Amino acid sequence: MTDAASLPTRQIGPFAVSAIGLGCMNLNHCYPPFPDEAAATRLLNHALDAGVTFLDTAALYGDNENERLLGRAVMHRRAEFTLASKCVLDYADGKRVLDGRPERIKATCEAALARLGTDVIDLYYLHRLDKDVPIEDSVGALAELVAAGKVRTIGLSEMSAATIERAHAVHPIAAVQSEYSLAVRNPEVAVLATCRRLGIAFVPFSPVARGLLAGGVTDGAYEAGDLRYSMPRFVGDRLTRNLDLAGRFAALAQGAGVTPAQLALGWLLAQGDDLIPIPGTRSIAHLDEDLKAATIAFDLATIAAADALFPPNALDGARYSPAAQAQIDTELLPDEELA
């Protein structure tokens, strides 16, 4: 177990959080098989014991069940962590919906507070941009929730620099969350620079590229219902080519005396002290492995070598299906594949 006292902290708005947080989605969303509640509860409490002070969930995950899980598993330790959740993406009558209308955001927040068993959410994100609703209206609803004491700070997820600017003009944005890793470099187009200019923390999700950079993907045989089946870069001949690159990355990590996951996280942490990655896992052993990356003194030459392995568009294949990409506002890389 990582010693809690040894985990460095980074800042998100007014909150000092562990330099590596925990994305809770894996516990019942996207990547089956899922642990039973007892195992999930052990992992969440182990994370807190190990010094994690930043937990990330969302209304979408597990059709609201992820928030309920946190409510049952760790809310008795509420003072020990900064709680992040998300709205706009949700389920209605068993179907996934994207709805950024103010009334929907407020209703989702009320339901989330009940599911979580708390009276305030520290960081509440717009999970995606609803292109049918002005961002000013959606952020305005969150600002009203802040004024009402139900939300402490506001975040955005997978949004472009232009959208961030518009949102920040309505109410200060504390954090932007987007997919970012050695293998997914979209935030480098404009979002990272915009966040730094505005004093906004950046929270990379999928920091080990959905397992590709952590030895978690060895072929295209996933469990039924796994999200990666819908992602072109994780199936077929494209995956075969991407696994070759992942193998070279693993060899680099081995030569440096670290695991691939640790090197992937170490690279992210080295990009600036305003980045707080949130890897997800179902395994306590993997959690401890990830957290150790926050205390490893990585050689700068190793970080540079990792960076050189993954220029923009290094992976073969689009990162999302066309339907999922339609809900993404983040800038595309030059010549990025979309199919």
Q: Where are the beta strands (DSSP E) in the chain?
A: 9-12, 15-18, 22-23, 54-56, 82-87, 89-92, 95-98, 121-126, 151-157, 173-179, 201-205
Query: What b/e readout covers 181-207, taking b as 16+ CB neighbours within 10 angstroms?
Result: bbbbbbbebebbebbeebebbbbbbbb
Which of 183, 188, 189, 191 is closest to 155 using CA atoms?
191
Known active-site residue 31: no
With beta carbons less than 8 A apart as the criterion, state whether 291 and 50 touch: yes
What is the C-alpha to C-alpha distance for residues 294 and 176, in angstroms, rounded to an integer? 21
Q: How many CB atoms lie within 10 A of CB 336?
A: 15
Question: Angle between the 300-309 and 236-256 helix axes, to the nearest 10 degrees?
Answer: 170
Q: Chain-centre distance of CA 337, in angstroms?
A: 22
Which of 198, 150, 207 is closest to 177 using CA atoms?
207
Which residues fall within 8 angstroms of residue 211, CB to CB, at 6 or more apart?
31, 217
What is the C-alpha to C-alpha distance for residues 338 and 231, in angstroms, rounded to an integer? 10
- Radius of gyration of the CA atoms of the chain, in A: 19
Which residues fall within 8 angstroms of residue 275, CB to CB, at 6 or more apart?
10, 180, 201, 202, 203, 204, 268, 269
Q: Considering 61, 124, 125, 320, which one is annotated as catalytic?
A: 61
> In this structure, what are the phi and psi dihedrals at residue 90, rounded to the nearest 5 degrees?
-160, -175
Could you give the residue numbers annotated as active site? 61
